[in-house]
Structure 1
Amino acid sequence: MDPPLANATSDKLQRALTGSEQDKRREVAGKCNKTYQRPLPSNRDRPRKLDTRHHFSQHITGTKQSPRTRVSWPTLRYLAFLSLVLLFASEAPNQINAVLGTPPQPSPISILPPLPLRAYLSRVAHLIHREASRHQTSHGPRTPKMAWTCSGRTNAELISNMWNADLIHSERVRDAMISVDRAHYTPSHHLAYQDSPQSIGYAATISAPHMHASALEHLLPYLDDGKRVLDVGSGSGYLTAVMAELVFPPSASAPPGPDPGAVDGPRGGKVVGLEHIRELRDLGERNVRKSEKGRRWVDEGKVEFVEGDGRQGWRDPRGQGGWDAIHVGAAAMEIHETLVEQLRCPGRMFIPVEHPRGLGQHIWVVDKDGEGKVSKKMLYGVRYVPLTDAPR
């Protein structure tokens, strides 16, 4: 063989051997990498993320693609927050102008009719109220938080919003609350129609309107014409006046008895507001006297404000015994037997009570039937100021 040709063949063979060796090394290295390399997680092993937009769209459109189409609490909170933004955008300019005394300006969202907007807000409040009632805690049903959703610019609008939100069920309660202007009983006229509690001094408050409505609804069967009512912790006197509106309807405003200061009203009815602080007792009477009807009630002896320990109730010094309805406007440490004894047969008491193990406060309804048998029922959780001694 020619030497140059032999050298070329030898070089090709050498390169072939070298190439196969390199391939073999690459193959071994690849196997090592596969052996020691950590495997990547598959899609099956990865945690699934909940597509909230998918579930929310299912709830809105009504399609049933998954068994879990129920709106979650975060979604409800989002709806509540959106409603709050809409309410603030529509009401804030009017509130500011009311404080500054300037003429009202157009709303930033005036493209939306005001009544449908307020109806929408009331509807959202009702949905949250209904959804909250389905959820249970270890201590009983959760209490819905209302407040800003039912507020209005006038007394009639405030009551109408609560009526539309199903917080008032009886026309008698609705008409009585409309007849008593809440602005006469709050320290600030600009906040008079807010559905929230407000301080009136001396560590006391005027409760939120929806709580007043709840108390009136539960006591309504015992607030007929001629009934005797005791309002323990009357405070501003607002609820005392509304209950007087129910006990003394316009048809009962007939000529008074010969000595109205010595007996009850012309049909035997009486509404007493009981306060343990003299200044609050005087405040309640002054507020009731701001209306012509209220002045007539007080002058004729139909409505009276007295000072005393609310835990002991009130016994009429003129010998008129017992109460058809007792409302307690502060949280008691227990259901005081003295108050139960002062209930007539039949009679009912509406009272907030502290839980014995410190688990909050709850509304109790205490009923006494015609034979004197007492029954008690817990309704829902609340937050009231305590029923205490007068400050020294």
Structure 2
Amino acid sequence: MGRILAGHILRDEAGHITQIQPLETHCRAVAVSCAEACKPPGLENLGYFTGLLHDMGKSCRAVQDHLYGNTAEKLNHASAGMRWLWENYGTVQSGQHIIAAYLACLAIGCHHGERLDLIAPDGSEPWRERMNSAQASEFYAENCSVFFSQCVSEQEVRALFEKAAAEVLVLCQKLTANAREQNASDADTVWSGYQMGLGLASRYLFAALVDADWLDSASWYKPKQVQSAPPPPWAVLSDTAEAFLANLQATRPIDILRSEISDQCAFAGKRAEAGIYRLYVPTGGGKTYSGLRYCLQAAKHRNAKRIFYFAPFRSIIGQNSKEFRKVLGGGQFLLEHHSDVLLDTQDESLLRQMERWQGVPVISTTLVQLLNTLFAAPRQNVRRMVGVGRFDSAVR
């Protein structure tokens, strides 16, 4: 009887194997989690497909020998899936097939390293170099043969990709329509807006795969440390905020004006639709409380995943976060993430929250962290994109 085609192997302190996670089990678990994260942009099948193929390169004997402890050398196992995908769909079929192949190739090929450019500033194509690396090419044929015979059928993978390509076509149509709506008379700007949207979709898929892979791996090695967070208690938080604000005493005329502005924000939040809204209030008009009140009511109304507060200066974040804690009834509902925060490096739950921007209802952080999440290459930044998800409603 042959050994199990492994995705992960657990050992005791003496180094003896105690448990083996089959490769198919790992790939399907990652696929399910990645698909769930990709539901908001409408790329559920693309997410499942990407998760299913991400560790195809673990199928060959050389990588299995390393996992079983027979060799010390780590081998590239991220290139096999992207190469099979590109060879089969990257140069043929319709436009949506090629775009879907690009999106999944970048996610799969980069899920164990920094995200690569399609075209670097010097004109090179680093993603192709990774896909066709000499080390990965040596085991490519074996990876394809073993993966499709012992892990996932090629028929299933091809059927999934057709569904994924259909999702990408819908996404491209939406991106084009949105870009035209914003810049109907400027063809260059429409094209730039479309490309920007497609780039963010690519990064989001990459983020979803990295997050799903890390979560499944972490739950395998340390299952007690990976727990699903409960839904945000928006009803409780909004009631707590209303009680706090009701107890504020109006002693000056400005207090009455602040109260009126705050009531208008609460009214608007209860009827919030997706969009971007501006709160035009002069300094001293109570924007901190009014804005948070709107967000709490909007989050409750739209069943949002969380509220983000981004500011350009750390001093503003520290000052407003202090007020947020008062309104929310404690610091357990707020995560501050900026360089002025003194971290408890022994608190693993806090560190995981900062890695993913998940687990707490309200995140208070800097624009720098947001820009890192959206554009910086390292994986420790990109995972937060799944925490951001989509901006359903925003106050500016």
Please report the TM-score for the alignment, with normalisation by the length of structure 1.
0.26
Larger proportion of strand: 1
* Larger RCO (alpha carbons 8 Å, 6+ apart): 2
Please report the TM-score for the alignment, with normalisation by the length of structure 2.
0.26
Which entry has the higher C-alpha Rg, 1 or 2? Answer: 1
